[in-house]
Structure 1
Amino acid sequence: CRVPNELAPGCSDVSRGLEAGLQMNLDPDRELQRIHSLFMSHMERLDKLKDACECQAVYTGDICFLPSFIIEDVQSCYKTLALLRETVFNLEQEHRSYLRSLARETKYGSKAAPIGDDNYLMLASAGVRPLENSALKKTYSMPN
């Protein structure tokens, strides 16, 4: 049906909302982790876009590399990318501090990490990477 009016002759609902047997299970923690990992894996692209916003705001000629698309509102794009970068960095810091505290509090041989289990290797690897030595801190440190 290509008529704007949905009540026109020949137009009918394909499915009646959620009665079609669709069930939605949402896990906000998992979805937040997916979004966070997407931003972390594409942080270099976001930084290049932020640099393009800076360059376009300062220079109006062909001096800087501009992406293949046009940035309509350079200031809001830059502010959004800077805030997004800061938020992703803060979330990564909280995530790593949680992993460090989990590794510190978990005793080898307890129910959480039984002897001979692979949990020990996982916890040991999580506690080895302090934030000062990480690539995130070196590459994407936030200015003070």
Structure 2
Amino acid sequence: MSRIILARLHSSTDHRVHSFDAHQHGDGTRTALCGFTAHHSALEPLPHITGMGCELCILATPLDEQPTTETTPPDDDPTSATVYAVGLRGELRWHDVPEHPLIHHHAGREVVLAECGSIGFLVFGIPPERYERCPDCPSPG
């Protein structure tokens, strides 16, 4: 069972509380269950949802998860970062992003047109293990 960290941005007008998998590695960037990304130093861990919880994170959080306020150590492999997209509706699927994607802004985030034609939030890093690769995105290579 993975552990969840609830956190929001330290200083922002966006006070949504997001759910983050506590076991993430990479360049220090944390990816919430909804696809929102932020560097761990910009996040304020919380013991519970305070104010407004992110609807997509709430939908994607397993019911048996207990939040923790532990901070995760900085990631140690910045060369492993990749770019991918996650669906706007919070489905646990990631999409391939073309080399020169069409980028637009939606809900304060960058969205892209994925290889399969789906629109998703642009995310930097390694897709979470529990997310599956979109079967409609063309196979790499």
Q: What range describes the TM-score normalised by the shorter chain of this pair?
A: under 0.3
TM-score normalized with structure 1 length: 0.18
The structure having more radius of gyration, on CA atoms, is: 1
TM-score normalized with structure 2 length: 0.19
> Relative contact order: is structure 1 or structure 2 higher (C-alpha 8 Å, sep ≥ 6)?
2
